[in-house]
């Protein structure tokens, strides 16, 4: 029996995936979490075989949650299930240790296939994303300026566009405010912007965030 933990801040999404998995005899959903922090705590308590992880969530989000979960708990496998099909997300999540990456528009059967393959020790990436990753590596070109960001810079970027203050980011990532400020400055320089509002506009343009994301103030 493959024990699965669902992690997504939208209950409707979790319910949909649960219904899909309930029809698979050898898969059992053992819990649901609505944030990265909750996912880490529940995974420690329930010890799932596979975690289906969303990316854009309140708090530390899926990227940092994946990194922390895999660093502190051996044996668990993480499959990302996200609306984000473009860089930098797939590459950054795989660099963080994720064993699979699916988009939320994938077929129900693909979720089941991914869980089985990852549980058996393989990796699984939605074919379209796998092809884009391969082409990007061969061509060496950056389709999005966000591909220039490091894993940590990507995490800080997501938290800034989520409306979180530098102090809150420092606290949740267990970093000093000075370190967060350094990451913030670096990512702004790489993206050619000067404040959080410009960052949000750029992120919207490249599909990194959705329109209903809380808009940070220009002085943040």
Checking if the pLDDT of 141 tops 80, the result is: no
Token readout for 67 is 């990194």
What's the mean pLDDT in 80-107?
88
**Alpha-carbon gap, residue 138 to 82, rounded angstroms:** 25
Q: Both tokens of residue 49?
A: 């075989």
pLDDT tens-place string over residues 18-57: 999 999 999 999 999 999 999 999 999 999 999 999 998 8
Q: Is domain 2-137 classified as CATH 3.40.50.2300?
A: yes
**How high is the pLDDT of residue 218?**
46
**Structure letter (DSSP) for residue 150:** -
Class of domain 145-205: mainly alpha
pLDDT score recorded for residue 135: 60
State CA 131 to chain mean position distance: 19
Rounded Cα gap, residues 144 and 49, in angstroms: 34
Give residue 213's pLDDT.
46
Count of CB atoms within 10 A of residue 107's CB? 10
User: For the residues of 41-85, what is the DSSP string, one character each?
Assistant: HHHHHH--SEEEE-SS-STTHHHHHHHHHHHH-TT-EEEEEES--
| One fold for 2-137 and 145-205 | no
Q: What is this structure's pTM?
A: 0.78
Domain boundaries defined on the chain: 2-137, 145-205
| Weakest-pLDDT range from 51-55, 112-116, 160-164, 207-211 | 207-211
Model confidence band, residue 62 (pLDDT cutoffs 50, 70, 90):
very high
Residue 216 binned pLDDT confidence (cut-offs 50, 70, 90) = low
Question: Is it the case that residue 151 has pLDDT exceeding 90?
Answer: no
């Amino acid at each position: 029996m493959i024990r699965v933990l669902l992690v997504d801040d939208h209950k409707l999404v979790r319910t949909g995936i649960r219904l899909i998995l309930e029809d698979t005899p050898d898969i059992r959903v053992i819990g649901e979490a609505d944030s990265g922090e909750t996912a880490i705590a529940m995974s420690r308590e329930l010890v799932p075989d596979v975690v289906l992880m969303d990316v854009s969530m309140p708090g530390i989000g899926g990227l940092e949650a994946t990194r922390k979960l895999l660093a502190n708990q051996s044996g668990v496998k993480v499959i990302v299930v996200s609306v984000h099909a473009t860089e930098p997300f797939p590459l950054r999540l795989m660099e963080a240790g994720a064993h699979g990456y699916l988009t939320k528009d994938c077929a129900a059967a693909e979720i089941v296939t991914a869980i089985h393959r990852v549980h058996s020790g393989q990796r699984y990436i939605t074919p379209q994303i796998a092809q884009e990753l391969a082409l990007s590596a061969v061509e060496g070109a950056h389709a999005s300026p966000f591909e220039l960001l490091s894993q940590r810079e990507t995490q800080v970027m997501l938290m800034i566009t989520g409306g979180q203050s530098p102090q809150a980011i420092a606290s949740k990532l267990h970093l000093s405010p000075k370190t967060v400020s350094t990451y913030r400055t670096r990512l702004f320089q790489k993206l050619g912007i000067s404040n959080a509002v410009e960052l949000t506009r750029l992120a919207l343009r490249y599909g990194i965030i959705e329109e209903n994301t809380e808009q940070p103030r220009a002085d943040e």
